[in-house]
Structure 1
């Protein structure tokens, strides 16, 4: 499975045998089992320049197991289904402020949204291998949301609540921080072999997913990446977390919209952000000042992260992705000014390739990657 998944062109059975050192008979038997289990499929042989009959190629099956990604954020819910190849088969977003409702009502709404995407025609014939839920907060390894300050949630056992709902009954379920899942989605979506970076998730809250040597860094308790609660100014405005001067108060979605003159103007935040983007494109001075202030705050905090962790790249995701062309120069300037090694080892600031869908896509992708990494377990559970 690893050989086929990582190949740049469909390998034959002989190619897999040569790469792994397994005999051709063993490879053929394993491939037949994976084909029957709808994990691999055969494709037309590639043209050959030499003598002999062209060999049939192998690719990941797009009609077998699939992953369901779910995202809870402050002002929207999202769901998507990703097949084994990583292709998004269906996606849905429900935009509404989740803060007025109890967690149980939000989770019931999320389950109904999940049913919408899993019953869509584009998903017909796929087998749901499991679901992963992305949440903007501190999540324990058991899936309990210990604290999500922007939602006002504390000690919410998401797996237990969702398992009682008929839409998700019986589906294997994991829960993780949304920035972590977004960073994993970014890691596997990129084609440039980027293995060390900080993914910055800009929403109402600001989070970070840290990837080092191709692996997600979670910290001792799994709570790393709370970038939004690092201080820009210790005596700054009060934050929902109880501290003062946190990055969210300078570069979070609500702070950015206020500074751009769009705070409390009515309508959805998504609409307001599109207007900010349009005004920035048109050269609006107030919007440019707001973006420059947010970029400076982001750069100050990210410079500390780079000095500490020595990562080579910052990836701007969430609401920052479509605004990256205005934010990146300011973030880069602060990093260059404050990072000790920047003179001979510059840090690159890039836009996310997945944009606003990184967390929900990364959540679904984590499910299918588990199948790809442990195909025998999947086959044994069928």
Structure 2
């Protein structure tokens, strides 16, 4: 059967700081450190790996040979040695064997992708059928069909799924596969594992996580590699608005796993009623439906929401007053909602992702102004920028969480000999 397993968010640097309980655990961690060194700097020589992780060349050679036999690494031609002498053979992560499968259940789309150990997307499928009124059985049957298509394509390329991670737009009970509530899907107390098992999905380790959290992890792992961010709030703005919070390189989930529900922070206590049961929530001012309604843009017709958002962007570019007012209002509401989180958590950055990222030129000025006005310490407002990972952040974060589970503890996923 499908069973829950927790992995995303573990960092190999943190792992190295925890004293091992046994020789076997030390070996596991050193194998992981070698894989991460190759992932970060590859193709790379044994000598360079030894210099990066602080082990002797002899120790690294022993670990590398084990990883080569297990099918995680491949040898290329001569590469950088990291020191004097003749360069050794460069090592790279294999393009075969274990892969991570990530899926996103959006309000109006499904996305599934397979990512190899080197981080390359090797298969991808999208279903743009709206899910808001379809019900979980129908949605998860279609998701199962996409999963079958992607895993078949990945298998033809020599890959085998090491696990499945699913991003959902709602509250997920910590360390479970249960969606407690997803207002924009109309779901309450739905167990993803049970539904997928009923749909006939082959057994796979399964993680279910809020889509904003997986988007934040994608930003942490795949974002600006020149100056990696380790303290930020990643805003995922689609039909709903969520936030993934990363502090000191770790995802903040909260006691029950419900941290980051930015869309249901009230910005007008007596404002419009929200699907969550509250009033004046941020989603009623900056969610896609509210934004399009305020701008007078209809979602009816060819293309649905995506086309409507493109029409809104075109109107803004042409200086349409209604569009500009709606976008400014959304930016102000976002700034007000984020102020509390910024004053409480003191992040270095606020990153705007999802559909609103494409409207950033008109949303960010008002957002930044509110943060400057309301941040408790004058002149200490965080950097505000557009997310580097784009709209595929949740599915990529999901897939990479599985990949990192393999890199953290590779031998259970080794090729059988």
TM-score (norm 1): 0.93
Choose the corresponding residue for 2:262, options 212, 216, 227. Answer: 227
1:381–1:253 distance in 2 versus 1, CA, 3 Å? farther
Answer with 11-20 or 368-377: which moved more. Answer: 11-20
Residues 4-38 of structure 1, C-alpha deviations (whole Å, 9 max, x = no match): 24543533222333444544343223212212333
Alignment match, 2:71? 38
Are 1:357 and 2:392 an aligned pair?
yes
Choose the corresponding residue for 1:183, options 216, 232, 236. Answer: 216
Alignment match, 1:156? 190
Choose the corresponding residue for 1:292, options 328, 332, 356. Answer: 328
Q: For the residues of structure 1 that align with 2:352 and 2:416, how far apart are their CA atoms?
A: 39
Secondary structure (helix, strand or coil) at the match of 2:49 reads helix
Cα deviation for residue 100 of structure 1 reads 2.1
Cα deviation for residue 55 of structure 1 reads 1.3
Are 1:217 and 2:217 an aligned pair?
no
Cα deviation for residue 84 of structure 1 reads 1.0
Alignment match, 2:142? 109
Q: For the residues of structure 1 that align with 2:179 and 2:275, how far apart are their CA atoms?
A: 16
Secondary structure (helix, strand or coil) at the match of 1:320 reads helix
Residues 76-127 of structure 1, C-alpha deviations (whole Å, 9 max, x = no match): 1111111111122222221122122221111011110112222237962111
Q: For the residues of structure 2 that align with 1:7 and 1:242, how far apart are their CA atoms?
A: 45
Alignment match, 1:367? 402
- Give the unaligned 5+ runs of structure 2: 1-31
Asked if structure 1 preserves the Cα contact closer than 8 Å seen for 2:115 and 2:122, the reply is yes
Answer with 352-361 or 22-31: which moved more. Answer: 22-31
Q: For the residues of structure 1 that align with 2:392 and 2:280, how far apart are their CA atoms?
A: 28
Higher RCO (C-alpha 8 Å, min separation 6): 2
Q: For the residues of structure 2 that align with 1:40 and 1:138, how far apart are their CA atoms?
A: 38
Q: For the residues of structure 2 that align with 1:283 and 1:61, how far apart are their CA atoms?
A: 51
Alignment match, 1:28? 61
Q: For the residues of structure 2 that align with 1:9 and 1:100, how far apart are their CA atoms?
A: 46
What is the Cα-based RMSD across aligned positions, in Å? 2.1
Residues 147-205 of structure 1, C-alpha deviations (whole Å, 9 max, x = no match): 11111111101112212333x21121110111001100111112121000001011111
Alignment match, 2:236? 201
Asked if structure 2 preserves the Cα contact closer than 8 Å seen for 1:315 and 1:350, the reply is yes
Choose the corresponding residue for 1:306, options 342, 363, 378. Answer: 342
Asked if structure 2 preserves the Cα contact closer than 8 Å seen for 1:81 and 1:91, the reply is yes
Q: For the residues of structure 2 that align with 1:88 and 1:217, how far apart are their CA atoms?
A: 27
1:309–1:245 distance in 2 versus 1, CA, 3 Å? same
TM-score (norm 2): 0.86
Secondary structure (helix, strand or coil) at the match of 2:78 reads coil
